[in-house]
């Protein structure tokens, strides 16, 4: 199945506490590119990015309060096209199962995801970020229709 991602992407921005400064600095360096897209952010991350960039951010709940799951839900509904998630691999998070679920749902729906600055740079600077893109989404009809 093909899903068309419009030239104006809907980007989910998420960062763990020890990665928030890194994500904000990255976003500030890339403001000119980000301003062409619709931004979503979890809790404090969304607020901080909105303040730093002076761009609107659709703010959801804080990650530990369900924001990661809200982003994942929007991915499953086709309402987020890209995830930029600067997560902290050196510190356990109280909501690790939510984080794993979010990463899993991004793979399930075949959307671009970056978990570090280098990958975020590659995604944001890709020619596909400025034009429509036909993404191949796996066909889950057989899974949905399966008999238990």
Crossing angle (nearest 10°) for helices 67-76 and 96-108: 10
CA distances from 131 to 5, 78, 92, 96 (A): 8, 17, 37, 34
- Catalytic, 68? Answer yes
Give the CATH fold of the 2-145 domain.
Rossmann fold (3.40.50)
Domain extent listing, the chain: 2-145
- Which entry of 68, 121, 134, 139 is annotated as an active-site residue? 68
The three-point CA angle 108-114-116 to 5° equals 145
User: What is the full per-residue pLDDT of the chain (148 aa) written as tens digits?
Assistant: 898 999 999 999 999 889 999 999 999 999 999 999 999 999 999 999 999 999 999 999 998 889 999 999 999 999 999 999 998 887 777 667 888 899 999 999 999 999 999 999 999 999 999 999 999 988 888 778 888 7
pTM of the full structure: 0.93
Q: Which residue has tokens 């991915």?
A: 75
* Rounded Cα gap, residues 38 and 24, in angstroms: 16
Give the distance between the most distant pair of CA atoms in the chain. Answer: 51
């Amino acid at each position: 199945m093909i899903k068309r991602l419009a030239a104006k992407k809907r980007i989910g921005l998420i960062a763990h506490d020890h990665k928030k400064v890194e994500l904000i600095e990255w976003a500030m360096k890339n403001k000119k590119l980000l301003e062409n897209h619709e931004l979503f952010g979890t809790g404090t991350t969304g607020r901080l990015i909105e303040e730093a960039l002076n761009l609107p951010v659709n703010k959801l709940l804080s990650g530990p309060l369900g924001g990661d799951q809200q982003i994942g839900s929007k991915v499953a509904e086709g309402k987020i096209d890209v995830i930029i998630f600067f997560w902290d691999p050196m510190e356990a998070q109280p909501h690790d199962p939510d984080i794993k679920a979010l990463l899993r749902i991004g793979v399930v729906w075949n959307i671009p995801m970056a978990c570090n600055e280098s990958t975020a740079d590659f995604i944001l600077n890709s020619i596909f970020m400025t034009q429509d893109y036909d993404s191949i989404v796996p066909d889950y009809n057989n899974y949905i229709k399966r008999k238990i």
